[in-house]
Amino acid sequence: MPERHARERRFWARGHSGSRGLSRLRRPLRGLVGCLLLAMGCAGSHVAARHPRSATRPPAPIDTTTAATGPLATPLDATAPEPRATTTTIGGAPRQLAGRIIALDPGHNGGNHLHTAEINRLVDIGTQRKACDTTGTASADGYAEAAYTFDVATRLAGILRTAGARVVLTRTDNTGWGPCIDERAAIANRAGADVALSIHADGGPSSGRGFHVIYPPSLPGLTDDIAAASRRLALDVRAAYAQGTGVPYATYIGVDGLDQRRDLGGLNLSDVPKVFIETGNMGNATDARLIEDPAFRDRVARALMMGIRAFVDGR
């Protein structure tokens, strides 16, 4: 028996062909199991890399705010009519002014001072005859009202477009002259605008500051059909502007930020609800510093948009 056990130990030590086959089988099996385990771990790591915490992370919120756009790349016109609608949704963002036509009238023009004969020509405004246009005012630093009003109107046009409106501008640059005050009204009338807004900055006394909104009285045969709507527009614009900019009501003109006038051709000849806004007093140092600040002009544009929207929503 001892000899037999010794032979068997030597037999297994040398490696029987069956044991070598089993060894060969065990090694690949161990390798296969290892690879399978490794593959499972690798696959899990790849999924985690592609979708980290995908099972627990909440979806990112959708930003539906509207940023100010700065100057328009191309001016808009009123050549292609759009269907009227109050509200629609595109891509999840509300377009509150979809289908509305908004006329923006940036006061004066940068080249008016080079065309004095043209802008001094008298035009009929219904109640009297007045000069076609004027040069506007400027701050003590030389920032021209015409440049300011065009900048604000361009910013506002971008915001209105984002809200779905079709925008009509009475001028599309700040290098020409005019148009005359009667033609400014006619541009909005021809477009069939829902709202017309003339944007200005006043040249008042240095001791006075603030803004005011100008609207027309009811003039038979002129504004009697739009006077009531224009006053509502004035109230909406006044409220939105005061809240959005923090500028106080004018301390030197009007009453509580409102002024009714019958001598402005842009109002007298309008067939659509229209107001003028003197957004601040360029003759006042405090107001002028604001007006010269691009961030403030963004706030002005946003505030005016909210005033227009409030009026449209309330019609």
Rounded to a whole number of angstroms, the CA Rg of the chain reads 36
Active site residue 278: yes
Residues 6+ apart with CB under 8 A from 256: 249
Is the CB of residue 254 less than 8 Å from the CB of residue 212? yes
The answer to whether the peptide bond before residue 179 is cis (omega within 30 degrees of 0) is yes
The residues pairing with 130 across neighbouring beta strands, listed in sequence order, are 123
Is the CB of residue 195 less than 8 Å from the CB of residue 312? yes
Q: Could you say which of 118, 183, 278, 292 is catalytic? A: 278
CA-to-CA distance for 197 and 157, rounded, in angstroms? 11
The structure tokens listed for 310 are 């409030």
Is the CB of residue 197 less than 8 Å from the CB of residue 274? yes
Which residue is listed with tokens 């790591």? 45
Residue type, 210: G
Q: What angle separates helix 145-162 from helix 294-314, to the nearest 10 degrees? A: 50
- Catalytic residues, by residue number, are 278
